[in-house]
């Protein structure tokens, strides 16, 4: 079977929710993936900030294989060892006291929204259920998560969205102050907006948001689904800003590719959930949490977060040098290895040209190239991509 045959088969039977690149990927190792024809690609998107330890990391693969030979799933009616150990690790390394495990980012955000509503409901403030989130935000595709998402194109065709969501511009403190009401249960945001275009807050913004929330008795929810687990050069992005949220959601890189989400909160907030409040069949199964546990342990042993910060600085500088050479580059920004390069042209042709040269990169919001390689990326890999971009942008400009 050729990749063209496979593509035809897939296009005939899969729902048409994705405009895929005409590549069939069959194998991965570290920062490399291979297609059916045996061509190798350097992966600078890592399954959208998921495979932080690269593909098929030997320690994670081994942990997974070991667990696969014993216990996969028993439901959350029972205790399991890996789930407990992962929850201990996460609470031990964050502001949070308790964790709820689920299967995806959207589900983690659903859980966060439910927790915030329940928290005020239990305190007798039943009218206090509204959530303020940000324009250009992305919180997922389920009904509540998309209702919280500040991008019309995500909601198009799915009306009516849920009641109880208000929007203000990201990075606008005055707009937030004005929108706050006695009905506001929570402010929910990504510390650095991912899908919205790798948009970074100005230095004091998040601290001010924290203060505004405190002044109003409102909960602060950070969606760290994309920014968490070392992506920004800190374990969690909130560490850059000298504040902590009340609730945090994680997913993407937590399982390095195994589907797992988590919603974390400090004790007082977490205690709004009691037996029966919320549940999921698959959340935190032994098979998935044993892999995630191997992921977080490996991150510590291999000092991945420090490496991400170093490679992020190196990569950003390289891209900034490119900016001096290429007038099509408007801006280079980001934290750690979540980097956006804004062009003043549509970026799709650049992505395609890089693919042809053996690099997987990503374009969001039409004109922003997003780089989110595995955190194990090395300078030589970065140099190769930057050379490729240099050539591609030269040709694009002509
Ligand atoms: C990817 C993402 C989500 C949604 O995660 P899914 O696992 O696709 O549901 C939510 N929030 C942010 C910030 C994300 O990057």
Model confidence pLDDT, tens digit, residues 70-88: 999 999 999 999 999 999 9
Does some domain include residue 390?
A: no
pTM of the predicted model as reported, rounded to 2 decimal places: 0.98
CA of 107 from ligand 1 middle (Å) equals: 9
pLDDT surpasses 80 at 398:
no
Nearest CA to ligand 1 atom 11: 139
Does some domain include residue 265?
A: yes
**Substitution candidate for ligand 1 out of 47, 101, 108, 139 with most atoms within 8 A of CB:** 139
The set of residues, in sequence order, having a beta carbon less than 8 Å from that of 349 and lying 6+ positions away, is 396
Here the CATH number for the domain that contains residue 145 is 3.40.640.10
3-class SS letters over 7-64: HHHHHHHCCCCCCCCCCCEEEEEECEEEECCCCEEEECCHHHHCCCCCECCHHHHHHH
CB atoms within 10 A of CB 397: 11
Does some domain include residue 368?
A: no
Which secondary structure element, helix H or strand E, spans residue 131, and what is its range? strand 130-134
Domain count, the chain: 1
Model confidence pLDDT, tens digit, residues 357-376: 999 999 999 999 999 999 99
CA of 4 from ligand 1 middle (Å) equals: 30
Model confidence pLDDT, tens digit, residues 209-259: 999 999 999 999 999 999 999 999 999 999 999 999 999 999 999 999 999
Would you state the pLDDT for residue 274?
Answer: 97
Helical axes 379-397 vs 348-356, angle rounded to 10°: 120
Does some domain include residue 177?
A: yes
CA of 139 from ligand 1 middle (Å) equals: 6
124: alpha, beta or left? (left if phi > 0; alpha if psi -120 to 50): left
- Residue owning tokens 């998560």: 145
Model confidence pLDDT, tens digit, residues 84-123: 999 999 999 999 999 999 999 999 999 999 999 999 999 9
The set of residues, in sequence order, having a beta carbon less than 8 Å from that of 253 and lying 6+ positions away, is 49, 50, 51, 52, 228, 229, 230, 231, 295
Does some domain include residue 212?
A: yes
pLDDT surpasses 90 at 397:
no
Beta bridge pairs of residue 58: none
Average pLDDT over residues 258-279: 98
What's the DSSP call for residue 237?
A: G
Instruction: Indicate if ligand 1 lies below 6 Å from the C-beta of 52.
Output: no
Instruction: Indicate if ligand 1 lies below 6 Å from the C-beta of 225.
Output: yes
Domain of 143, in residue numbers: 59-301
Instruction: Indicate if ligand 1 lies below 6 Å from the C-beta of 222.
Output: no
Q: What's the angle, vertex CA 189, arms to CA 192 and CA 136, rounded to 5?
A: 70
Instruction: Indicate if ligand 1 lies below 6 Å from the C-beta of 255.
Output: no
Looking at the CA of residue 109, tell me the nearest atom of ligand 1. 10
Helical axes 286-301 vs 81-92, angle rounded to 10°: 40
Instruction: Indicate if ligand 1 lies below 6 Å from the C-beta of 106.
Output: yes
Model confidence pLDDT, tens digit, residues 323-354: 999 999 999 999 999 999 999 999 999 999 99
Average pLDDT over residues 301-305: 98
Percent of the chain with pLDDT over 90: 99
Would you state the pLDDT for residue 20?
Answer: 96
Nearest CA to ligand 1 atom 5: 105
Residues in the chain, overall count: 398
What's the DSSP call for residue 321?
A: H
Q: Residues 119, 272: contact at Cβ < 8 Å? A: yes
Q: Please give the mean pLDDT across all residues of the chain.
A: 97
């Amino acid at each position: 079977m050729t990749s063209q045959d496979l593509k035809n088969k897939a296009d005939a039977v899969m729902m048409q929710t994705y405009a895929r690149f005409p590549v069939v990927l069959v194998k991965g190792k570290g920062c490399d993936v291979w297609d059916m024809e045996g061509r190798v690609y350097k992966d600078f998107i890592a399954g959208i900030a998921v495979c932080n330890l690269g593909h098929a990391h030997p320690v994670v693969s081994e942990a997974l294989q070991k667990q696969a030979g014993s216990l996969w799933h028993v439901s959350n009616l029972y205790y399991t060892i890996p789930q407990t150990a992962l929850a201990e690790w996460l609470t031990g390394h964050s502001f949070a006291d308790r964790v709820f495990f689920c299967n995806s980012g959207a589900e983690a955000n659903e859980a966060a929204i439910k927790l915030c509503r329940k928290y005020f409901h239990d305190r007798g403030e039943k009218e206090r259920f509204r959530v303020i989130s940000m324009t250009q935000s992305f919180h997922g595709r389920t009904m509540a998560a998309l209702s919280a998402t500040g991008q019309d194109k995500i909601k198009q065709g799915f009306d009516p969205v849920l009641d109880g969501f208000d929007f203000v511009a990201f990075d606008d403190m005055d707009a937030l102050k004005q929108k706050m009401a006695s009905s506001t249960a929570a402010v929910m945001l990504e510390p650095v907006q991912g899908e919205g275009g790798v948009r970074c807050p100005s230095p004091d913004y998040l601290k001010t948001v924290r203060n505004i929330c405190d002044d109003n008795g409102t909960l602060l929810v950070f969606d760290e689904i994309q920014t968490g687990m070392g992506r920004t050069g800190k374990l969690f992005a909130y560490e850059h800003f000298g504040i902590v949220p009340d609730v945090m959601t994680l997913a993407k890189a937590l399982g390095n590719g195994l589907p797992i989400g988590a919603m974390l909160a400090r004790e007082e907030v977490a205690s709004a959930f009691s037996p029966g409040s919320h549940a999921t069949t698959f959340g935190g199964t032994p098979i998935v949490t044993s892999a995630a546990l191997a992921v977080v342990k490996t991150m510590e042993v291999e000092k991945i977060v420090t490496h991400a910060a170093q490679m992020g600085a190196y990569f950003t500088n390289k891209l900034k040098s490119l900016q001096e050479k290429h007038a099509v580059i408007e801006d280079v920004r980001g934290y750690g290895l979540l980097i956006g390069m804004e062009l003043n042209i549509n970026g799709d042709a650049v992505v395609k040209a890089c693919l042809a040269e053996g690099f997987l990169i990503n374009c969001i919001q039409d004109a922003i190239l997003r780089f989110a390689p595995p955190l194990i990326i090395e300078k030589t890999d970065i140099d190769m991509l930057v050379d490729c971009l240099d050539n591609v942008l030269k040709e694009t400009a002509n």
